Amino acid sequence: MGGFPLTAWQGYLDAHAARFLDEFAELLRIPSVSTSPEHQGDVRRAAQWCAARLAAAGFSEARVCESGGHPLVYGEWLGAPGRPTVLIYGHFDVQPPDPIELWQAPPFEPAVRDGRIYARGASDMKGNLMIAVAACEAFLHTSGRLPLNVKFLLEGEEEVGSPSLPAFLREHKELLAADLAVSADSGQAGEEQPMLLTALRGLAGLQIDVRSASSDLHSGIMGGIAPNAIHALVEILASLRGPDGAILVDGFHDDVRPLGPEERQEMARIPDDTPAMLRHAGIRAAHGEPGYTPRERNWARPTLEVNGIWGGYQGDGVKTVIPCEAHAKITCRLVPDQAPARVLELLERHVHRHAPQEVEVSVRPLPGQGFPYRIPDDHPGQLAAERALRTVYGKAPYRYRLGASVPVTALLQEILGMQTVAFGFSMFDEGMHAPNEFLRLGNFAKGQRAFCLLLEEVASD
Amino acid sequence: MGGFPLTAWQGYLDAHAARFLDEFAELLRIPSVSTSPEHQGDVRRAAQWCAARLAAAGFSEARVCESGGHPLVYGEWLGAPGRPTVLIYGHFDVQPPDPIELWQAPPFEPAVRDGRIYARGASDMKGNLMIAVAACEAFLHTSGRLPLNVKFLLEGEEEVGSPSLPAFLREHKELLAADLAVSADSGQAGEEQPMLLTALRGLAGLQIDVRSASSDLHSGIMGGIAPNAIHALVEILASLRGPDGAILVDGFHDDVRPLGPEERQEMARIPDDTPAMLRHAGIRAAHGEPGYTPRERNWARPTLEVNGIWGGYQGDGVKTVIPCEAHAKITCRLVPDQAPARVLELLERHVHRHAPQEVEVSVRPLPGQGFPYRIPDDHPGQLAAERALRTVYGKAPYRYRLGASVPVTALLQEILGMQTVAFGFSMFDEGMHAPNEFLRLGNFAKGQRAFCLLLEEVASD
């Protein structure tokens, strides 16, 4: 406990730590993979679990809400009139577990090893979701009240880009009205080093489909005559990025806010974890746009990645076909002030301009577009979060950007007019979106304490 | 029957036509896909079926022979001492049926429609195999003898490049000794237009495997930092061929015999079926090495094709990963005097030279290397075949090359010292290696007649 005053909520958190972990594991056991149609029922089960859990924590209202896609969960406790209201955001869906053969244990059978809990969704973000719920429960079950009004909004489509969220926000503006949003979908820089998130990247994605003939062809009989869909796709993909990683799409960088010397200096002050990240991921050397450090590229420059490619024969041995189809999925991470629709337009134009004439090329947007996001350093919510983190960690948080995307932050700003403080306790090495994802149990406990303090700090503003 | 004298064998072929078709269908029902480990038993069943069928046709010996891989079938009738001996070559294995969803009927349930029989292997080459067997049976069951000595060698690994054949030929030189080989794995130019094959292309293939990290990575957290295995593979593949289809591998064309003006003129005399081939295959425009006609490219120039590519996420929706692995299968069709091992060496060197340093690239040869092949126009076997085809079709055969590979021809020359006459009755539009493969029943009957004549012509030389 160190130098912390033993508050009622702290005592409660300590007393119920084992149960919170059990409940966390219960949630991890639900394979709520939002991108897979066969897991539709599991995503709904996760929603029902969350609604029931909020009710058990003492929220006066907690319900599953329908949307065009996977359901959402709304909860509220509004027993502090005159006090501010925060809207806590999170998601209960997870990434697919594949490649499943690389997991050391089944991805939906949580296993505790060496102070960590391993399962798909442990770090992204069922742990952070449980942290927020546990913190609220600690207030409600000890004092019967929260220090301010709290609304919960949990979605089941974050990992597919929150397609139903914009309409839901627009239709429930009043219900969701708050002074500040707190996104639990975030992390810290280290076990002993807090951080404050100041920017997130946006997302835009598309699929390219190439067709060169009505069926696969015999490479002997048609070789030298027929075009090859894979070669055509390769040509298109090679035109999108240079070998050095620079994006070559015309106009792609037009709306990118240039990185000033002060910003670059501030970023450079934070210890560089790139070498450790590379080592951890088994990477030979960092790679990307020349003229920027890896961190600058990850935090403040857009990227373009082929996420998947397929075409022709993928089985054992040899099959001498000229494949008639080839496909690629591509996503871009965007930075201020890029707009997803504009980026997609530029990409589509580029693809068609570089498409070999002898094949048929079509392009379609992938779900999950999202604007990039920034919150000012002196925003009161950021300052409250800074005080809470200083108390728990005993030091000032880094001002961090993040290369990842949480589309909700841009949507909450655009539709509900509120800024978002990111307040989560995952770490970068925890295998999010990859096999053997885990969360550190130390952070699970520390996060609950920090979250209680955050609610008190915002309440006292 | 037109102007043909009604020989005993012709009467027999007519009388037993329905049974021959039934037996052909029986063989087509065996899914003898040699590239798929799960069909290993089916390939063996096809071998057993062929051995039994040769015995029933009247061959004095007919047996399944073991090899390192799929078994072979040997048969012989040597009751014509002092007469020449021919070695009839064929294969009873077939290509995989995928993409299976594009078949109008199940690929291993033969269906007769509009004078054609549809099934995987109908055209390549179970029909041609049955033609040769039926022709021999017609002699043996009417006169009790063949006009010359006949040996049969049928293999089950042609579609995977005949990996066990070289050793089998070397170990059975005496058993297989003959004056001439006849490969039934061939075709004709049209229903009314015969052809004589004078050259075949060879084959060399390799797989490229790229690894960029120990697991797939989150494209937000690692984007701008981590290399992407797919982009690295795309870069390598783009370096192999220019957008115009020209092969850019250093030294690749060094051993290619240049195409002389006379050869080009002779090729141009044969009506060009390229427009029909393109239309039939649903191709917008022919594509390939500049400076050559499509036929010249297909007959006398080497090609390089990516047959398959895969990496990253291929499922529904979006998955924002930086993939850690990417793979491609590549095969080249070779022309005289290219050697498969030398071509592979050049390819491997090229791939490593163009491999981005930040990823790990490995290359391994695929099974099925084969030398290109040529038989002189005035070879006695070619002249005998020409006489047989003239009798049946009433016109001179085209002197054809073929873009495809039948590795056995080069092997029979190299190991057993014999030349091969190609004598089959498939046609180019019959969907070999593609969905909805079929054989024309008219050619099935005509082929049996022609094959009987061929045996007589060779015997009378």
Q: Locate B41 and state its tokens.
A: 């038993």
* Cβ-defined contact of B431 to A219 (cutoff 8 Å): no
- CA–CA separation, A427 vs B266, rounded Å? 71
Is the model's pLDDT at A161 over the cut of 90? Answer: no
Task: Give the model's pLDDT for residue B370.
Answer: 87
The Cα of A186 is separated from the nearest Cα of chain B by a number of Å equal to: 12
A288 backbone dihedrals φ, ψ, rounded to 5° = 165, 180
Alpha-helix residue ranges (DSSP H) falling in A62-183 = 127-143, 165-171, 173-176
Q: Does domain A202-256+302-365 have CATH number 3.20.20.70?
A: no
Task: Give the model's pLDDT for residue A4.
Answer: 52
Q: Count CB pairs under 8 A between chains A and B.
A: 376
Residue B410's pLDDT band, with cuts at 50, 70 and 90, is confident
Task: Give the model's pLDDT for residue A407.
Answer: 75
Q: Does domain A8-200+372-459 have CATH number 3.40.50.720?
A: no
Picking from A101, A216, A325 by the largest number of B CB atoms within 10 A of its own CB, the best residue to mutate is A216
- As a whole number, mean pLDDT of residues B276-304 equals 95
The model carries a pTM of 0.77
- CA–CA separation, B22 vs B110, rounded Å? 10
Residue B266's pLDDT band, with cuts at 50, 70 and 90, is confident
ipTM of the complex: 0.77
Q: Locate A343 and state its tokens.
A: 């980026």
Give tens-digit pLDDT for B340-350: 999 999 999 99
- As a whole number, mean pLDDT of residues B82-95 equals 97
Give tens-digit pLDDT for A66-117: 999 999 999 999 999 999 999 999 999 999 998 899 999 999 999 999 999 9
Task: Give the model's pLDDT for residue B227.
Answer: 98
Alpha-helix residue ranges (DSSP H) falling in A336-404 = 340-354, 380-393
Task: Give the model's pLDDT for residue B407.
Answer: 75
Chain A neighbors of B293, CB-CB under 8 A: none
Contact B424, B417 (CB under 8 A): no
Q: Locate B138 and state its tokens.
A: 């017609």
Give tens-digit pLDDT for A325-346: 999 999 999 999 999 999 999 9
Task: Give the model's pLDDT for residue A208.
Answer: 98
Task: Give the model's pLDDT for residue A306.
Answer: 98
- CA–CA separation, B182 vs B151, rounded Å? 10
- As a whole number, mean pLDDT of residues B149-161 equals 95
* Cβ-defined contact of A307 to B289 (cutoff 8 Å): no
Task: Give the model's pLDDT for residue B4.
Answer: 52
Contact A47, A71 (CB under 8 A): yes
Picking from B249, B295, B307 by the largest number of A CB atoms within 10 A of its own CB, the best residue to mutate is B307
Is the model's pLDDT at B225 over the cut of 80? Answer: yes
Give tens-digit pLDDT for B179-217: 999 999 999 999 999 999 999 999 999 999 999 999 999
Q: Which residue has the tokens 């037009």?
A: A254
Is the model's pLDDT at A377 over the cut of 90? Answer: no
What would you report as the CA-atom Rg of chain A, rounded to the nearest whole angstrom? 23
- CA–CA separation, B376 vs B382, rounded Å? 8
- As a whole number, mean pLDDT of residues B225-246 equals 97
Task: Give the model's pLDDT for residue B3.
Answer: 47
B/e letters for A229-241, b = 16+ CB within 10 Å, e = fewer, are bbbbbbbbbbbbb
Chain A neighbors of B37, CB-CB under 8 A: 316
Task: Give the model's pLDDT for residue B428.
Answer: 83
Task: Give the model's pLDDT for residue B402.
Answer: 87
Break chain A into its structural domains and give their ranges.
8-200+372-459, 202-256+302-365
Q: Which residue has the tokens 């390799």?
A: B206
- CA–CA separation, A173 vs A176, rounded Å? 5
CB nearest to A303's CB, from B160, B224, B314: B224
* Cβ-defined contact of A318 to B205 (cutoff 8 Å): yes
Give tens-digit pLDDT for B104-121: 999 999 999 999 999 999
Task: Give the model's pLDDT for residue A5.
Answer: 58
Is the model's pLDDT at A128 over the cut of 50? Answer: yes
Q: What are the DSSP calls for A386-415, one per residue?
A: HHHHHHHHSSPPEEEEESS--HHHHHIIII
The Cα of A436 is separated from the nearest Cα of chain B by a number of Å equal to: 10
- Mean pLDDT over the full length of chain A: 95
Q: Locate A214 and state its tokens.
A: 């009505």
Classified as helix, coil or strand, B205 is: strand
CB nearest to A37's CB, from B220, B316, B318: B316
Is the model's pLDDT at B5 over the cut of 70? Answer: no
Is the model's pLDDT at B67 over the cut of 60? Answer: yes
Picking from B216, B244, B278, B334 by the largest number of A CB atoms within 10 A of its own CB, the best residue to mutate is B216
B305 interfaces chain A, CB cutoff of 8 Å: yes
Give tens-digit pLDDT for B24-58: 999 999 999 999 999 999 999 999 999 999 999 99
B/e letters for A32-65, b = 16+ CB within 10 Å, e = fewer, are bbbbbeebeebbbbbbebbbebbeebbbeebbbb
User: Which residues are CB-contacts of A271 (< 8 A; sequence separation ≥ 6)?
Assistant: none
Sign of CA dihedral B66, B67, B71, B77: negative
- For residue A269, give the amino acid letter: R
CATH code, B203-256+302-365 = 3.30.70.360
- As a whole number, mean pLDDT of residues A399-422 equals 90
